[in-house]
A and B are shown apart, each in its own frame.
Chain A
């Protein structure tokens, strides 16, 4: 498998040459172009019931596409939001991704959705997180640029900005500076990460973009 990330940090996209028989799991809708020999199969992640629950509570993508072909071929993937594509090699390890940030992974990686608990509802990342586990290549995307932080101790991140983290990190939702500032500052809720591990943070956040735009819409 040969891979090439083009256009970072503004317009990152991913080009992958698949070997014959090699398979790639892809976020639904991310394919932008591909050579004709490749085939697509779609499946529900985690079965029908969890997918339905996710749909209702998280509004996340229901389906995954699996691309591959007997003769291999090239496929390009592009995230819905402009920004950066990150590549991580997993070696019998695990990474937690927020729901919207998954782009693709090779077949040695197993993806599971986890309900993030009540705190996740306030994280601005949707109620579900993805756990990518196994050995292979994992790709995720960020809105804007991405900053990789090594955390030893704790770090506070505005909700909506966390992209991925090592499972050794844990987080809790906190208000910054009391109720008054929570309501008025827009910096209200934060994700407080604790532990030792890496955290990827994106420099833009979609709810904020939408929030900025909404007052300008006319009915």
Chain B
């Protein structure tokens, strides 16, 4: 399986070349083109049903439905995927040792045999109002992430505080705690920086230049109210 990133810039997309027997998983809805010999199987990754799975789905702000693509006739095929928002994509080559954690809204796709494991951020994550669900992606294989805006790779060595809305993905060697920015909860909320993640350790971290939630909020205030 080979992946090429196309049209770098605000409208980045990825083209996945499938050999016979290759599998590619993507966030369902990310596919925008596929060869006619490519078949799509939709699965969900929530473990167990019930209330918890539903909550997870809510908290993720993301459908947990995955599409798995493969060619049906033993030939080669192509699948093109793109995120909803404008911005850059990045391919992360996950090795067999170190899984990556990917913010729910940033996961675009990965090689089809890679293991995906949702990590829910608990009540705090739910109340933070942010997209706080991480997908643990275990390698080896390529992982595709999308961002709102520009993606920057940061080498964390020590500690770094990142607004929850700017986290795209990070190596699992980094530990993180969800917390507030200021000295008190009040300061933190008043400043508009509700929740941040404090990263510690050593590892790679991908951040996006813009916060989709903030953009949504600014736009939303100017839209007509929803009719009931």
Interface residues of chain A, those whose CB is within 8 Å of chain B, are 6-7, 10-13, 28-36, 38-42, 59, 61-63, 65, 78-82, 206-207, 209-211, 213-214, 217, 219
Chain A: minimal CB distance from B43 (Å): 29
Any A CB within 8 A of the CB of B163 = yes
Interface residues of chain B, those whose CB is within 8 Å of chain A, are 9-10, 86-87, 148-150, 152, 154, 158-163, 165-166, 181-183, 187-188, 190-193, 198, 207, 209-211, 214-215, 217-219, 221-224, 226-228
Q: Is the CB of A213 within 8 A of B219?
A: yes
Given contacts A6-B209, A11-B149, A217-B223, whether A31 and B181 have CB atoms under 8 Å apart is: yes
Partner of A219, one of B150, B191, B198, B226: B226
Q: Is the CB of B210 within 8 A of A11?
A: yes
What residues of chain A lie closer than 8 Å to B166, measured between beta carbons? 32-33, 78
Given contacts A40-B181, A42-B191, A61-B192, whether A35 and B161 have CB atoms under 8 Å apart is: yes
Partner of B219, one of A59, A78, A210: A210
Q: Is the CB of B10 within 8 A of A10?
A: yes
What residues of chain A lie closer than 8 Å to B160, measured between beta carbons? 33-36
Partner of A81, one of B182, B191, B215, B221: B215
Given contacts A13-B209, A35-B159, A36-B198, whether A82 and B190 have CB atoms under 8 Å apart is: no
Assembled-state Cα–Cα distance A11/B221 (Å) = 22
Chain A: minimal CB distance from B201 (Å): 13
> 22 interchain pairs (CB within 8 A)?
A6-B209, A10-B150, A11-B149, A11-B209, A12-B209, A29-B192, A29-B193, A30-B192, A32-B207, A32-B211, A33-B160, A33-B162, A39-B182, A40-B191, A41-B183, A42-B190, A78-B209, A78-B211, A80-B217, A210-B223, A214-B224, A217-B223
